[in-house]
Amino acid sequence: MADEKRNREENEDLNKNLESDLDELTEQDNLDDEVDLSWLDDPDEDGDDLDDEDKDDEDEKDIDLDAMIDEILNHIDPNDWEEWKDQPAREAPPPMPPAAAVPQQPTPTDTAPTGKARKKQRRSLPTNIAEGVIYVGGILLISFILATIGWRWAGDLLALNKEPLTASVTITEGESLGDVTAELKEKGLVKYGYLFKLFASFTHKAEKITAGSYELSTVMDYSALLNNISSTSAYRETVTVTIPEGYTVEEIFKLMENKGVCSYNDLMKVAQEETFDFDFLKDVKTKEEKRLEGYLFPDTYEFYKGADAKSVINTMLKNFNDRFDSKMEAEMQLLGYSKNDIIIMASIIEKETDGSDQRNIASVIQNRLKNTWAPPKGYLQVDSTIQYLLKERKEKLTDKDLEIDSPYNTYKNPGLPIGPICNPGLTAIQAALEPNKTNYYYFMLGKDGTTHFFDTEASFLAFKAEQQD
């Protein structure tokens, strides 16, 4: 019994402590209810919420309340639950008195309440106004900047208010859109390269850019610039090139480069590697580097600067094909020669003389080719074929030069050389097709500047001896 009585006393003490703590908590809550808290839910007259200081006070109150609850819970031993659950139920405590009514917040016309006044809240309206001004100002500034950038872009794209400027632009084969844009920007025709590239890509006009030289100006907008660097441009620069009769392929290509048509290397690469749709090339027996020799027809041409190399070569080949007409075809067949044979003979004629004696030289060549029984037994023995093999032309060939091992050496190989030694003109081609009827087998340029012809080897050697004295 003594133990039971002691336990009851301990439980009663514990319950009293709990009730005391709960009463304190309730009293604190009633105290809070008596304070005018309506301002927590309603912003002040300026439309602002609690200022920072008030928020700090509120946070401090919440922290104290949590600590209080923790303190109460610390007084409770969970092990006592087994004893508490067997205890008779306690009567419910009397109802708590209703909380004091919260007085209405006085209107501006009301008299201020007596007692301790509520701490005056910090007014933040000026801060909000300043922030609003800054915000609006920022928006306006950004809009102004974007409008300025947009206007500048539009001015460059549409060629508005640009300083008058004309510049020559050269686009070479294989250049990218970036390369073209860089040159346009360097020449002052485009200010915003990234915008130009974007426009060219979206309009698909970048695909039509063509190699060449163009006269462009700042009055042209982006669309006009792109149109005028295409193959159909009226502003594409042209150059007139006259190819002399008797020029070799190398000499022609160097001339093209000097005139700005296209580079020597590009032309040579195309000449060696590309295919061309002309039947006369089927008879060519020379290697790649010589296969177009004789067929780049000497004439006056007008090419675009920076033109495509294959287009340039194709133009000259087409000119040859057009000039070698059906009448020439008939004369060639009558003689029993191929077109390649005629061009080889014409190239030799072109190099041996540029005078009115071309048809006599043609007769010498064909007499030697047909009458191999007569001296010099089918050997043409013309110096021009040896000169073709040399890097530089010589005034007089040496015995060593005559011994060069090459299918072009007409001193060591009978008949025609393997290919033409230059690109002959129309007169030389006609001479090869229509040689004079002679008995000449020899010819030699005399000191008097004229070509002398001989029908026997003895008369030729006698004249040669006279010229050497």
**Which amino acid, 160?**
L
More confident residue, 2 or 404: 404
> What average pLDDT does the chain have?
79
Predicted confidence (pLDDT) per residue in 246-298, tens digit: 999 999 999 999 999 989 999 999 999 999 999 999 888 777 778 899 999 99
Contact 183, 169 (CB under 8 A): yes
> 93-141: per-residue pLDDT in tens?
555 555 444 455 554 444 444 444 455 555 555 567 777 777 677 777 7
Q: What is the pLDDT of residue 231?
A: 72
Give pLDDT tens digits for 382-391. 999 999 999 8
Residues linked to residue 170 through DSSP beta bridges, in sequence order: 213
pLDDT digits (tens, 9 = 90+) for 347-390: 999 999 988 899 999 999 999 999 999 999 999 999 999 999 99
184 or 91: which leads in pLDDT? 184
Residue 285 exposed, middle or buried by CB count within 10 Å (0-12, 13-18, 19+) = exposed
Length of the chain: 469
* Confidence tier at 424 by pLDDT (50, 70, 90): very high
Q: State pLDDT tens for residues 23-81.
A: 554 555 444 444 444 444 444 444 444 444 444 444 444 444 445 545 554 554 545 54
| Percentage of the chain modeled with pLDDT above 90 | 45
Lowest mean pLDDT of 154-163, 307-316, 327-336, name the range.
154-163
Backbone φ, ψ for residue 445 (5° rounding): -80, 120
